[in-house]
Structure 1
Amino acid sequence: MKKFLFADLDDTLFQTLEKCATRDALEPAAYYSNGSICSYTTAAQRAFFAFASEGMTVIPTTARSLDAFRRVELGFTSYVVLNFGGVILQPDGTIDRDWQGQMHALMTAALPGLQQLASRIDAWADKTGYGGRARLVEDAGTPFFIVIKDPDKVALNLERVEREAVLPWIADEGRDYCVHRNGNNLAILPRALDKAEAVRYVTERLRREHGDIVTFGMGDSRSDARFMADCDYAIIPRRTQLAKLTVEAL
């Protein structure tokens, strides 16, 4: 029976230098568009990836865009889930057009709400003197979500943005949208954009191709929990947001 691991990337299989618990035996894993190193793997992460790759097929399941994924140097050979589930790559690297057509229709319908919220966030920033701005993330010709990063990389500043500018809008007008905040990333997504839906789609494809399969889900964030819950087994790296909410809390 074939085994497949749906794995988040950032803060799961690698992380930025600032988030590395130790600086020993680090190796580059991902790069910025200018060619400088973005993220690193530890020796333990490389050992885990080698172990997983020997017994199962690893399927990246990430918020990264197509361009950002192409700057990851780990080596994958199967399906890929990008943009929180908005884009699926087939094993040959081409975009799954059936899935893309579905998502494009859903995201186009959600775009006016994202634009409205982005304007609200920027107006709040102007009023309060906050230095961050809302950015609409688009990929493969489709708008997907809004992201705000604190210019000073202070996570608590994003908590204020969420509390004062985002949550009141969601409560009043944006009930079809949800918030994902982890570290220096605050993202607002249409509820129709969900890694779990993309993982279900790919899982059904894999079952048609291989018959009975076993699935594993791995991620660091509470937003990963939804797709991990649909897998047969879940793997949570320690010292992550999801670990703090689950096994470490117990």
Structure 2
Amino acid sequence: MMLKKFLFADLDDTLFQTLEKCAGRAALEPAAYYSDGSVCSYTTPAQRAFFGFINEGMTVIPTTARSLDSFERVSLGFNSYVLLNFGGIILQPDGGIERDWQGRMHGLMTAALPGLQALAARIDAWAARTGYAGRTRLVEDAGTPFFIVVKDPRKITANLETIEREVVLPWIADGNDGYCVHRNGNNLAILPASLDKANAVAYVTERLRREHGEIITFGMGDSRSDARFMADCDYAIIPRRTQLSRLTVETL
């Protein structure tokens, strides 16, 4: 019996990346766009060959932190489920929002919102006190608040490490263990612990098993925040020169 194969794949820095993260500049093609229509990310020839290869034998399910709006500006073609906002939103194959999951997540995220707001105020107060130019932003989508994020205006990642060490981690240690940190590149995100790609992957995997019987699952991602959902899949794929690669195979 031929089992159906499904690849849960992160997008940014996994299937494509910004120009400055491309190892070479030859034969790049646009893969995602900013809201003004300019290109924000590109694929390399190797990534396009890999994408063609996996589409021949398996169904690709985007598993990303991107929102509904930013996902619509990705030019790669997908035809199955889509997991957005770190798993906070699941799109069905017809493009509609999975309402049972949305209702569950809306309740959890609404309960976690006061903590996110308190931490955002603490980070912004620290920024005002120290003269730091960055500020927090609450990410909301489809009427649900999900997480807060800080980006360094000058893309100095050491500044985000300082915020994490001096503000965020002490706040979490001070009785706020229902939240976790994701820092990769120029993104410092603080999420409710209940917002996890792995939870959404488990939900969709169970749905796929009901639809198709026994299946094989693959997980692919670049960040340590992807590791949990990848570990729950039958096989894991890690792109080289990424945060997750440095923490695992490159270390060995």
Q: What TM-score results when the alignment is normalised by the length of structure 1?
A: 1.00
* Counterpart residue identity of residue 20, structure 2: E
* 1:173 Cα deviation from its structure 2 partner: 3.1
What are the superposed Cα offsets for residues 70-103 of structure 1, whole Å, 9 maximum, x if unpaired?
A: 0000000000000000000000000000000000
What are the superposed Cα offsets for residues 203-240 of structure 1, whole Å, 9 maximum, x if unpaired?
A: 00000000010000000000000000000000000000
Partner of 1:75: 77
What are the superposed Cα offsets for residues 97-150 of structure 1, whole Å, 9 maximum, x if unpaired?
A: 000000000000000000000000000000011110010000010000000000
2:38 is the alignment partner of 1:54: no
2:180 is the alignment partner of 1:188: no
* 1:68 Cα deviation from its structure 2 partner: 0.3
What are the superposed Cα offsets for residues 129-181 of structure 1, whole Å, 9 maximum, x if unpaired?
A: 11100100000100000000000001111000111111110100321000000
2:30 is the alignment partner of 1:28: yes
2:181 is the alignment partner of 1:179: yes
Identity of aligned residues (%): 82
Cα distance in 1, alignment partners of residues 226 and 176 from structure 2? 22
What are the superposed Cα offsets for residues 171-201 of structure 1, whole Å, 9 maximum, x if unpaired?
A: 0032100000000000000000000000000
Moved segments of 4+, more than 2 Å: none
Count of matched residue positions in the alignment of Structure 1 and Structure 2: 250
Cα distance in 2, alignment partners of residues 246 and 168 from structure 1? 27
Partner of 1:165: 167
Partner of 1:222: 224
SS of aligned partner of 1:92 = coil
Please, what is the CA RMSD of the aligned residues?
0.4
Cα distance in 1, alignment partners of residues 222 and 115 from structure 2? 28
| Aligned partner (choices 88, 102, 127) of residue 86 of structure 1 | 88
Partner of 2:15: 13
Partner of 2:116: 114
Cα distance in 1, alignment partners of residues 55 and 142 from structure 2? 29
Partner of 1:128: 130
| Aligned partner (choices 154, 179, 203) of residue 152 of structure 1 | 154
Cα distance in 2, alignment partners of residues 239 and 155 from structure 1? 17
Cα distance in 2, alignment partners of residues 154 and 13 from structure 1? 24
Unpaired stretches in structure 1, ≥5 consecutive residues: none
* Counterpart residue identity of residue 193, structure 1: L
Unpaired stretches in structure 2, ≥5 consecutive residues: none
* Counterpart residue identity of residue 58, structure 1: V
Cα distance in 2, alignment partners of residues 83 and 173 from structure 1? 25
Cα distance in 2, alignment partners of residues 138 and 65 from structure 1? 8
| Aligned partner (choices 37, 42, 49) of residue 39 of structure 2 | 37
SS of aligned partner of 2:133 = coil
Cα distance in 2, alignment partners of residues 48 and 134 from structure 1? 36
